[in-house]
A and B are shown apart, each in its own frame.
Chain A
């Protein structure tokens, strides 16, 4: 079973600052990694897939990088609407499994 570990659990950032979130896989998932944003009471929203490709309608301030076992989500200049919980997810081709990290909460500093 592939385990996804996100860090930190909570990130305190001021509006306008940069936020860097990390995600580590217990074994290589190549570039089969996605990032999601979830706000309270809402379903998750896809931000990034293929480790670095922004989903439709996602602002350019969101960027993803990494491959293999180490991945990063960067929010270049935090806006008020970006304070939320962020999850990484691996979707490795084989064995076919879909595993989420435990989440990183981005809160206002």
Chain B
């Protein structure tokens, strides 16, 4: 079964750091671009970061310089290092796989909650 499972969420103080992980199974992880998407409670979806199969990375302005996406193909794992966290980063964070024929996201994890609060 093709699956993504996120972990690492929790409560962190403003200015703090957190590292999220996403474990992939059921497909050749190294062959796919991967993404992180977040969703604040009651709000819409926001793309957070992307990493290509060659390790190229992309970020929107809202997290650039604070978040770092990485991957470890030998462990079928995707990561998101989040630094200088703000209250506005509070959300459920999903990892998602991009299709090999289009950049739409065909597989999603169940999400992990990140709460930034003092």
What is the CA–CA distance of A32 and B98 in the complex, to the nearest angstrom?
13
What is the CA–CA distance of A50 and B101 in the complex, to the nearest angstrom?
9
Chain A positions 44 through 86: 1 when the CB is less than 8 Å from some CB of chain B, otherwise 0: 1110011000011000000000000000000000000000000
User: Within the complex, what minimum Cβ distance (angstroms) separates B27 from chain A?
Assistant: 13
User: Within the complex, what minimum Cβ distance (angstroms) separates B54 from chain A?
Assistant: 13
Per the CB 8 Å criterion, the residue count for chain B at the interface is 22
B residues sitting closer than 8 Å to A (CB atoms) are 35, 37, 44-47, 50, 58, 60-61, 94, 98-99, 102-106, 108-111
* CB <8 Å contact, B47 and A100: yes
* CB <8 Å contact, A44 and B108: yes
In A1-28, the 8 Å CB interface with B consists of: 1
Of the candidates B60, B105, B108, B110, which one forms a contact with A34 in the assembled complex, judged by CB atoms under 8 Å apart?
Answer: B105
Chain B residues touching A, majority SS: strand
With a cutoff of 8 Å between Cβ atoms, the chain A residues found around residue B104 in the complex are: 34, 46, 49-50, 55, 89, 91
Range, interface on chain A: 20 to 34
* CB <8 Å contact, B44 and A43: no
With a cutoff of 8 Å between Cβ atoms, the chain A residues found around residue B60 in the complex are: 97
What is the CA–CA distance of A96 and B58 in the complex, to the nearest angstrom?
8
User: Within the complex, what minimum Cβ distance (angstroms) separates A92 from chain B?
Assistant: 9
In A85-109, the 8 Å CB interface with B consists of: 87, 89, 91, 93, 96-103
What is the CA–CA distance of A55 and B45 in the complex, to the nearest angstrom?
19
Instruction: Add 8 more A-B contacts to A36-B45, A43-B111, A91-B103 (CB < 8 A).
Output: A32-B102, A34-B105, A36-B105, A44-B108, A87-B44, A87-B45, A98-B47, A100-B45
With a cutoff of 8 Å between Cβ atoms, the chain B residues found around residue A103 in the complex are: 44-45
With a cutoff of 8 Å between Cβ atoms, the chain A residues found around residue B105 in the complex are: 34, 36, 44, 46, 89
Of the candidates B35, B94, B106, which one forms a contact with A98 in the assembled complex, judged by CB atoms under 8 Å apart?
Answer: B35
With a cutoff of 8 Å between Cβ atoms, the chain A residues found around residue B37 in the complex are: 44, 100
What is the CA–CA distance of A62 and B102 in the complex, to the nearest angstrom?
19
A sample of 5 cross-chain residue pairs with beta-carbon separation below 8 angstroms, ordered by A number, consists of A44-B108, A46-B104, A96-B50, A97-B60, A100-B44
* CB <8 Å contact, A91 and B102: yes
What is the CA–CA distance of A56 and B26 in the complex, to the nearest angstrom?
16
